Structure 1
Amino acid sequence: MTLKELSLFYHLCEETHLCNLSKKLGITQSAISLAIQSLEKKIGEPLFDRIGKKLVLSEKGRLFYEKTYPHFEALKEAQLFFSHNALAGNLKIASSKTIGEYLMPSIVYDFRLSHPDVEICKTIQNSASIIAMVKNGEIDIGFIESSCEVKEIHKEVIAYDELIVVSSDKALHNARCYIDELFDKKWILREKGSGTREVFLEALGESAKALPLFLEFSEFEEAKTLLLRYQNAITCLSRVVVEKELKRNELFEVNLKNISLKRPFYLIYHKDKYASKLFSEFKRFVLEASSDRQ
């Protein structure tokens, strides 16, 4: 049954003469009759008794009215709500570690301030997992730190980031090293699937094969704890992750020769994703907010 059929049914409950209702609504009597007949066919019994020129609710009609009218009113209220509210609904997003902890929190907060009827369900995963989630339709939008060449996925650059090699050994900061000169250190890297790890190893080229991996980590605080405790520990992280430690001279950037560790941050979504008003506005907001933070 359709909302139009239900609406005509409720109108007929109040105005029992087809002729009068036809004039009131500006539609033909035959159109009203066809809609009611269609509704009665779906119910399986007449909803009205035809008494003279009047339509009077039957026993089944009264029961139908009682059971359906509250739901119809709720639907009308929802329809009115969505027609008068520019943005409402639920958005599912996933961000990789650096983006999720250092870029997205303030963006999501500001967006919710502007659009209180929107709910944003967010999670933090590594880039490989997010790509799979977007491909499988599990989330609406993903934010990743590595490139994505999956044909079903559209990507847009939202910001640029700088990776740096860091250590608590100040002597390394005062030197300028080739990467292989650091292979005697205890290298700790993010887990496989991490965008940070992928970009770093790609930048090393053939040298990546010889990099001695001592330990993997998934949490930034875990890595910083190890770096601060052990001078021979070394890693590659986004500058924003260790910004405070660098300013306090607790950690030091290791300057590398012949290696650039600049990388883009990407917004990704499925190419078949419907661009709803909420989806489009959130995407626009992220692009604008990310640009302002550069």
Structure 2
Amino acid sequence: MHYTLRQLQVFLAAAHTENITRAAESLAMSQSAASSALKDLEQQFSIQLFDRIGKRLQINELGRALRPQAESLLDQARALEQAFRQHDQVGELKVGATLTIGNYMAVDIMADFISRYPHAKVKLDVANTATISQQVLNFDLDIGLIEGELHHPDLEVTKWRDDELLIFCNPQHPLAKKTALTDNDILSAQWILREPGSGTRQAFDRAMNELLPEITIRLELQHTEAIKRAVETGLGVGCLSRVSLQSALDSGRLVALPTPGRDLRRNFYFILHRQKYRSEGILRWLEQCQSSV
């Protein structure tokens, strides 16, 4: 074999950081050792994996093509090392979740997961669907839990569970006593919505497709709690997952507005890179998520 796992580690760290010094720091190596490892890897096969732009390393087309295989190989090497050590096979897991899932579901799943696998280490990143999917594509995350529909040739997207969006307002809003929202009601409202790129916004736009050009969007916010607070203060009408609204509805701080004829159903999904090695940790995490439904 004409390459080492250390060389692959340097290649992947450089692809992630776009800088050999930061790559070396992340691997607890000297800058010269990391630079030599990357140079030796390229010279051994007469290839170039990066374009050099000053001190920045920008991964090129060949590097991007080889990166998934290198990631998969290192994942398998880590799994083999764990097996040799004969410790709990569930090690470190990097999970990404979109805001509804991350804020209202993922922490409980993590707690149950760590209770079952005490040696496990789980890192959770919370962002919108577009960001989480890009992190999975870049191998920055092992798995993503998303609430938006997604199609990408390098991602495996699997349905996890059903969800439903609700339109809501505060109890003093003029629409609060309506038994059903009409198109005129929808168009007359001031809307406070999630930002484009989020799964919640994607589902709302699909449900309101023909009315979208005339809908008045007063605010676009990245956080569900900010949207709920803005609606509570009377700034407008919102649309969020039932999961995120349940406590506010139960307490009477917010009221749901019926929308017959508007399909606000959607799904939550798992996403993994197609070339990602399905480690023991990933398999057990998926199992834990399924058991939480």
TM-score of the two chains, using structure 1 as the length reference: 0.68
Find the aligned partners of 1:122 and 1:111 in 2 and give their Cα distance.
13
SS at match of 1:129: helix
Matched AA of 1:138: D
Equivalent residue for 2:114?
112
2:105 pairs with 1:98:
no
Equivalent residue for 1:172?
176
Equivalent residue for 1:126?
128
Name whichever of 159-168 and 179-188 sits farther off: 179-188
CA drift at 1:226:
1.4
User: In structure 2, which of residues 213, 216, 221 is the aligned counterpart of residue 212 of structure 1?
Assistant: 216
1:48-90, CA deviations, whole angstroms, 9 ceiling, x for partnerless residues?
xxxxxxxxxxxxxxxxxxxxxxxxxxxxxx9687553342321
Matched AA of 1:143: L
Find the aligned partners of 2:112 and 2:236 in 1 and give their Cα distance.
38
Find the aligned partners of 1:124 and 1:256 in 2 and give their Cα distance.
30
Equivalent residue for 2:275?
272
Equivalent residue for 1:183?
187
Matched AA of 1:277: E
Structure 1 vs Structure 2: percent identity of aligned residues? 28
The answer to whether the 8 Å contact 1:187/1:215 transfers is: yes
State which structure, 1 or 2, has the greater radius of gyration over its C-alpha atoms.
Answer: 1
Equivalent residue for 1:199?
203
CA drift at 1:181:
2.1
> Where does structure 2 lack aligned partners over 5 or more consecutive residues?
5-79
The answer to whether the 8 Å contact 1:202/1:208 transfers is: no
1:149-169, CA deviations, whole angstroms, 9 ceiling, x for partnerless residues?
101100111111110000012
1:26-54, CA deviations, whole angstroms, 9 ceiling, x for partnerless residues?
xxxxxxxxxxxxxxxxxxxxxxxxxxxxx
Find the aligned partners of 1:250 and 1:88 in 2 and give their Cα distance.
42
CA drift at 1:133:
1.0
Find the aligned partners of 1:173 and 1:82 in 2 and give their Cα distance.
65
Aligned length: 213
Distance 1:159 1:79, change over 3 A: closer
Equivalent residue for 1:155?
157
The answer to whether the 8 Å contact 2:89/2:280 transfers is: yes
Find the aligned partners of 1:138 and 1:248 in 2 and give their Cα distance.
39
Q: How does 1:43-58 map to 2 (within 5 A)?
A: none
2:291 pairs with 1:281:
no
Find the aligned partners of 1:208 and 1:185 in 2 and give their Cα distance.
12
The answer to whether the 8 Å contact 1:173/1:255 transfers is: no
Find the aligned partners of 1:171 and 1:80 in 2 and give their Cα distance.
58
2:240 pairs with 1:250:
no
Equivalent residue for 1:229?
233
SS at match of 1:213: strand
> Where does structure 1 lack aligned partners over 5 or more consecutive residues?
3-77
TM-score of the two chains, using structure 2 as the length reference: 0.68
2:136 pairs with 1:144:
no
2:137 pairs with 1:135:
yes
Name whichever of 170-179 and 267-276 sits farther off: 170-179
The answer to whether the 8 Å contact 2:145/2:269 transfers is: yes
CA drift at 1:241:
1.3
SS at match of 2:258: strand
State the superposition RMSD in angstroms.
2.1
CA drift at 1:171:
4.5
CA drift at 1:227:
1.1
